[in-house]
Structures are given as C-alpha cells and as structure tokens.
Amino acid sequence: MSEIEKGQVMTANRLRDGEVVFLTRAGVWAMAIDEAVLAQEPQAVAALEARAKEDEKATLVTGSYLFDAERVNGKIRASHIRERIRAQGPTVRLDLGKQAEGTAGSFAAVEG
C-alpha cells in the first residue's frame, strides 16, 4: 500500500527563461516537481508564500501560486491536470518539454 501525504506546492515561472519551476525545501527553484517541498502545515504554507513574494520582488520568478498536491512513495503528484501538464510539458508532443529531456515528474500528465 502506498503512503500518501497531502499538501501544497509553490510554483512560478522563472523570469530569465520562462521555465516552470517549483520551490524546494532549500528555498531554491527547481524545474523538477519531485524536488518541490510539500507544505502540510499552515506555517509552512505561509513560509512558501513569503519566499515566493521575496523572489518575485528580486525578479527571479513571476506568477507564483500554490496548488494542491500529494506525495506518493516519495514522488510529488499534482492534484489538478493543469499542474501536471505544467510539470511535464506539452501533452501532444512527447518529444518536447521535460518529458523529452527525462526531467519530468514521476506521474503522467494525463492518465490513460
């Protein structure tokens, strides 16, 4: 049986190249969703929001927001299809984006 933890992940777009990024426990932005911190406590969520606002002011990222996710067997899975697609790259061309580079998350954007 899988161990599932629910929480929220902070995402944004990196300003220098537009890449989708996720905030990590170390307070840096990573391209891989599996490196994201999964905030489960209100204080942790507030800390993610504060860090994202700081990084927006420093013009590192833009459009930061939280989304619901879960950790399944140590891997992050976005609860909503929109976030799964952002983490993976285009769904119509598997030869593009993070799935083509082998850096996408562990879960498919579209299950089927």
Is residue 61 assigned to a domain? yes
Is residue 109 assigned to a domain? no
CA angle in degrees (0–180, nearest 5) for 39-17-93: 85
| Per-residue pLDDT at 88 | 83
Amino acid at 92: V
Is residue 108 assigned to a domain? no
Is residue 89 assigned to a domain? yes
- Domain containing 34: what range? 4-101
Q: Count the domains in the chain.
A: 1
pLDDT digits (tens, 9 = 90+) for 78-111: 999 899 888 887 666 667 666 666 665 655 555 5
| Per-residue pLDDT at 36 | 97
Q: And the tokens for 60?
A: 């590192």
| Per-residue pLDDT at 107 | 58
